[in-house]
Structures are given as structure tokens and as C-alpha cells.
Structure 1
Amino acid sequence: MDVLLFGCGRVGRAFCELLCRKSDMLKRASISLVGVATKSRGCIYNPHGIDVDDMLRWESITGRIDALSRGGCSVIQDSNEMLRDINYDVLVDCTPSDFDLGEPARSIIIKAIQKGKHVITANTAAMSLYFDEIMDEALEMGVKVLYEATVLSGTPLFSLVRDGLPGCRIKRFEGILNGTCNYILSIMEMGCSFDEALLETQRRGLSEQNPWVDIDGLEAAAKTVIVAKSLMGLNVGMSQVHVKGIRNVTTQAIEDAKRRGGKLKLLSRVEINADDLDITVNPEILSMGHPLAYLEGFSVGALLLTDMIGEICVSGSGSGPKETSYSLLRDLLSLKGR
């Protein structure tokens, strides 16, 4: 199975590093990376498989993906040419999320699907804005689109429900979906102000280039929409999510939560009531009896209420590029096994 990677930023590079670490397993599974396309650092193609370790070494020296132009590698001038002309089986999309337009990920994904290629994506924005269009197009073309990496980074959610809960209906979803916000609130519990906690997050390179996408709840809202559509079959969009981020959370609010025997968390919720739909992203005080109250730092997690076996909670201790890259690999192995 030949893989074309679009985007080699933090997540794309972590995915490549993971391919290096798991090279023996991937070789046994006949999975190889044949193309890498970037917006400004070049594109390369090798129909026999790219030496990923060599590519990363040259990229770290030169800053260019296309510095590796030996061992059968061809330099491609245009990323659109990669989508259109080279031979591959699966597109792995690691392009940055644009929460306004969902581009270029949407166009890249649709073009790959129309060529009859499977797609694995980490792009939260594109999947939240164009979920129905993308999935309908994939159904028509008879290909798979997998997107485990879009919501809980490396922690299984969609695969858990798909493979582990067949026949279950999800009646309610609650989640801590943004690791940056959870980290900031955890730091504030130690006595830091919001501004101090945000600066610490940026200093350590742990937030997005535009941190307000996280802080104002936009990324969490996009993830919540994907969950509502994928796991609950709801016809909802971003405009239907009631969003309040953590920008105005004070140390006083953190202390009030402690006095009330709980913790303040940015909680996503989707709940189907008798005659209403509740879909929100808000700072909420969780009692210490709530499974998600114990998630600290960059941990993320979800609590699902099912109609057959009650509540199920999943959580992961990290939500960075390394964890996200594992979900991409898991989806890739899932495709190979089908």
C-alpha cells in the first residue's frame, strides 16, 4: 500500500518519525511512503518508497523536503501534480487547519477521493466544515475516509465506537477535547494568572500559532461537531454550537470551583433531549465524581453514555503531534487490514 503525505509540519514530521521507528512492521505489511508534498519546502516522489530517515536528516540540515533527490527520488514542482499524476493508494493529510474556510485540506481530500484514493486526515477544520460532503463523495467513489486524529489526538474514539461498540447508540457525549486549554487551567490551579499560564504554554511551543483558536473554544467546537455528526448522526454545524472559551477565566473562578469540591474544565457536550439538542463548549465545574475531572495538563478524554451498556470513559495523557501521528498510523493499519 503506497502512501502520499500532504503536509510535513509538526504532525506530518512526527508521522514520518513514527514511520521510521516502525519501519520493520511497515515493511512486513507492505506499506511504504512514496510521496511527500509541502507548500513551501518542496515535493518528492519515489515509486519504490522514500527512505524516510534519510529525508528527515536532509530536511533538518537544509530545511527542504526536496533536498533528498537521490536513491530514485524525483523532485516534483507542484503539489497538485502529486495528487493528479503519481501512483498512490492512500492520502495522509497533515495540512494545517483553517477554521474559516477549511482549505486547502477540503480541496486536497476531495481531489484524492475523486481519483479513487482512500484518505486519512488529521484536519479538524475541514472535517467539521465539510463532513457531509467528504463522506458522501467517499461513499459514491467506494473509498474510505478515516479521521481518528481529528478529535482526541492519539486516544481512540471513532475506532472504539466502530469496532468496540457495534449496535450501541450514543445518547450523550462529554469531552475535554483541547489539551492547550486543559493545560492552562491546570497551571492556573497552581496559582498562575491566565496571562502567565498562556505565556508558559507559548514559551514551551505547546499552543497553536494563533492560540485564540484554542482559547476561545473554536477548535473544541469543531471537534464537537465532528463527534455529533460521526457518532450521533446529527445534522449540525459550527453555528449551532454554543461556545464560550476560557479567555475570561480568572484565578477567582478556579478557587471557587475548588471550594465547591470540583474542578473547572472546558467541557464539550452533545446531548439529545426529548425535544431539544444541547451542543455546547463551556467552562464548567466538574465534581470530583466525574471521570473527566481528573484529567490534568495536556490530557484529553471523553465520556460516552450508550443505550446498551451505560457510560464509557476514554482518556489519553497527551494531545501533541506524537500522539496525533499514532492515530494516523492506526488508521493506516486499519485500512490495510480491511
Structure 2
Amino acid sequence: MKVLLFGCGRVGRAFCELLGRKRDVVESASISLVGVATRSRGCVFNSHGIDVDRLLQWEALTGRIDALESEGTLVISDANEMLEDLDYDILVECTPSDFEIGEPARSIIKKAIKRGKHVVTANTGAMSLHFDELTRESLEIGVKLLYEATVLSGTPLFSLVRQGLPGCCIRRFEGILNGTCNFVLTVMGMGSTFDEALLEAQRRGLSEQNPWVDIDGLEAAAKTVIVARSLMSANVDLKQASIKGIRNITAQNIEEAKRRGGKLKLLSRIEANSNEIHISVSPEILSLNHPLAHLEGFSIGALLLTDVIGEICISGSGSGPKETSYSLLKDVLSLREG
């Protein structure tokens, strides 16, 4: 199966690195990266497959994707030409998330679906804003749209429910979905100021390009909407979510949580009451008995209440590009497996 990668920022580059590290797995599954498209660093295509190690080496030396020179590799001037005219089976979409209109990811995904291509995406913005539209069109065309990478980075959530919990209904969801906020609160708990903690998160390169998308709870809320739509069939959007971030959290708030025998966390909640769904994202003091209270640093996780087997807790120790790229690869491999 031929993969076209759209977007080669932190997540797209990590995906290429993972393809190189897992070359034996990728080759045994007959998967090859045939194209890489970027907005400002060029586009390349090779129907016989791109050597990702050489691609990354040339990109590191020149700052350009289209600096790669190898037999059969074409430099493409228009990314849309790759999307609409060239031969591939799976689009892996890694463009930056936009939380206002979901573009350009929405249009990119729609074009691939209309051509009968499977899509794997990490785009939280597009999926939170256009979930119904994109999933409906993929069903109508008869292709798969997979989005494991949009919520818990590399920790399986949607595939866990889809494959591991058939017949179960999710009644309640609680999650620590933003690693940056969890890191900031953890570091503040060790005595740092808010500004110091945020600066350290940025220095490590694991926050959004605009950190306030994280800090003000918008990114966590978008992920929560995707969970509500996907796992609870809820007709909700970001406008219906109650969102409060951690911008105004102080050392006093952290100490108050400790005095009350708990920890302060930015918690996403989905509550199903009768025929209503309530979504919220806000700082909460979690009792030390709560399974999510002990997630520290960039760790993220979720607690699901099911109607059949009660509570299930999942967590992952990282929420960066490396972990997100694994979910992309897992979704690609699942398409190969059928």
C-alpha cells in the first residue's frame, strides 16, 4: 500500500523517523512512503518508494524536502497535484490543527476521500469541527477514516473500544488529554512558577506552536468533542463545551489541592444524563484514590465507565510527536490488515 504524507512538521517528521526505525515491519506489510507534501519546504514523489532516512538527512542539511535526489524521485511544485492526480492508497494527514475552521485539513481529507483513498489523520482541529461530515463521506465512498492519533497520542483509545469492547456502551468519560497542561501543573507542584513551567514545556518542544491553545483548554476540549462524537454518538461541538484552562492557576491553588489530600489536574469530562451529554474541561482537584491523579509530567490518560464491565483506565507516559506518530503507523498497519 502506497502512503502519501501531507505535512512534515514535528509529527510528520516523527512519522518518517518511525518508518525508518520500523523498516522491517513496514516492508513486511508491503507499505511504502511514495510522497511527502509540505506547504513551504517542497514536495517529492516516487512511485517506487522514498528512502526516509535519505529524505530526513537531506532535509536536515538543506531545510528542504525537495532537496532529495534519487532515481525516480520527482519534485512536485503543487501539493494539490499530488493529492488529486498521483497514485497512492492512504493519505496520512499531519498538517497543523486549526480550531476555528479546521482548514486546510478538512479540504485535504475530503479530496482524498472523494478519490477513494483511505485517510489516517492526527488533526484534532479538523476532526473536532467536522467529525460528522468527514466520517459520513468516508462511509458513503467506502473508505476508512482513522483518527487514533487525535486524542491520546500513542495510547490506544478508539481502537481499544472498537476492538476490545464490542457491545459495551461508554456511560462516562474522564481524561487528562493535554500533556502540556499536565506538565505545567506537575512542575508547579515542585515549586516552579507558572511562567517557569510553561517555558520549560516550550523548551522541550512538546507544546503547541501557540501554547495558549493548550493552556486555555481549547486543545483538550477539541479532543473531548472527538471522544463524545466517536464513542458516545453525541451530537455536540466545541461551542457547547464548558472550557476553563490553567492560565490563572497559582501556587496557592496547587498548595490548596495538597492540603485537601489531592492533586490539581486539567480534567476533561463527558457525562451522559438521560438524553443529554455534558462536556467540560477545567482544573479539578482529584483525590489520590483517582487513577488519573498519579499521571505526572507529559503523561496522559483516560477513565471510561462502561455499562457492562465498569471502569477501565488507560494511560501513556508521553504525549509528543514520537507517540503520536506511532498511532499514525498503527492505523496505517490496521488498514493493511483489513
TM-score bin (small chain): over 0.9
Q: What residue in structure 2 maps to residue 111 of structure 1?
A: 111
How far apart are the structure 2 equivalents of 1:18 and 1:327? 11
- For the residues of structure 2 that align with 1:319 and 1:170, how far apart are their CA atoms? 23
Matches within 5 A, 1:167-182: 167-182=167-182
Q: Paired residue for 1:220?
A: 220
Residue number in structure 1 paired with 2:9: 9
Post-superposition offset of 1:278: 2.0
Q: Offset of 1:327 from its aligned partner? A: 0.2
**CA offset at residue 275 of structure 1?**
5.5
Distance (Å, rounded) in 2 between the aligned partners of 1:139 and 1:56? 35
What SS class does the counterpart of residue 268 from structure 1 fall into?
strand
User: Is 1:299 aligned to 2:299, yes or no?
Assistant: yes
Whether the aligned pair in 2 keeps the contact of 1:176 and 1:265 (CA below 8 Å) is yes
Q: Deviations over 1:287-314 (max 9, x none)?
A: 0110000000000000000000000000
**TM value normalised by structure 1:** 0.99
Q: 1:88 to 1:257 in 2, by over 3 A?
A: same
Q: Which amino acid aligns with 1:211?
A: P
Q: d(CA) in 2 for partners of 1:112 and 1:200?
A: 38
Secondary structure at the residue paired with 2:283? strand
* Letter aligned with residue 137 of structure 2: E
RMSD: 0.8
2:240 is the counterpart of 1:240: yes
8 Å Cα contact 1:224/1:268 also seen in 2: yes
Give the aligned partner of residue 75 of structure 1: 75
Secondary structure of the structure 2 residue equivalent to 1:5: strand
**Cross-structure match for 2:156:** 156
TM-fit CA distance, 1:191: 1.1
CA shift for structure 1 position 206: 2.5
Q: Deviations over 1:254-303 (max 9, x none)?
A: 00000101000000000101354321000000001100000000000000
Contact kept, 8 Å, 1:69 with 1:75, in 2: the verdict is no
CA offsets per residue over residues 13-68 of structure 1, 9 Å max, x none? 00000000111121111100000000000000000001111111111101110111
* Secondary structure of the corresponding residue to residue 106 of structure 1: helix
What corresponds to 1:43 in structure 2?
A: 43
Deviation for aligned residue 1:208: 1.5
1:327 aligned partner: 327
Q: Displacement of 1:83 after TM fit?
A: 0.5
The percentage of counterpart residues that share the same residue type is 75
For these two proteins, the number of residue pairs brought into alignment is 338
Structure 2 residue 152 is the aligned partner of structure 1 residue 129: no
Map of 1:193 onto structure 2: 193
Alignment match, 1:143: 143
Is 1:257 the equivalent of 2:257?
Answer: yes
In 1, Cα distance between equivalents of 2:50 and 2:123: 24
Contact persistence 1:188–1:197 (CA under 8 A): yes
Per-residue deviation, 1:204: 2.5
Aligned partners of 1:52, 1:75: CA distance in 2, in Å? Answer: 15
Q: Look up the SS of the partner of 2:298 in the other structure.
A: coil
Q: 1:131 to 1:275 in 2, by over 3 A?
A: closer
SS at match of 1:293: coil
Mapped partners of 1:275, 1:204: distance in 2: 43
What's 1:86 paired with?
86
CA distance in 1, matches of 2:268, 2:73: 45
TM-score (norm 2): 0.99
2:246, 2:204 → 1: CA distance? 19
Q: Distance in 2 between matches of 1:256 and 1:304?
A: 27
- The aligned amino acid for 1:258 is K
Aligned residue in 1 for 2:206: 206
Q: Is the 8 A contact 2:113 2:143 kept in 1?
A: yes
SS at match of 1:291: coil
- CA separation in 2, counterparts of 1:70 and 1:333? 26
Instruction: Quote the Cα distance in structure 2 between the aligned partners of 1:27 and 1:67.
Output: 25
Query: Could you tell me how far apart the structure 2 residues matched to 1:26 and 1:207 are?
Result: 29
Contact 2:234–2:277 (CA<8 Å) still a contact in 1? no
- Looking at structure 2, the residues matched to 198 and 246 of structure 1 have their Cα atoms a distance apart, in angstroms, of 11
Aligned amino acid, residue 318 of structure 2: G
Find the residue that maps to 2:252 and give its secondary structure.
helix
1:313 maps to: 313
Taking the aligned partners of 1:204 and 1:146, their CA distance within structure 2 comes to 28
| Larger CA deviation: 53-62 vs 63-72 | 63-72
2:145 is matched by which residue type in structure 1? Answer: V
- Provide closer, same or farther for how the CA distance between residues 275 and 332 of structure 1 changes in structure 2, counting only shifts above 3 A: closer
Unaligned 5+ runs, structure 2: none
Extract unaligned runs of 5+ from structure 1. none
1:120 corresponds in structure 2 to 120
Secondary structure of 1:60's aligned partner: helix
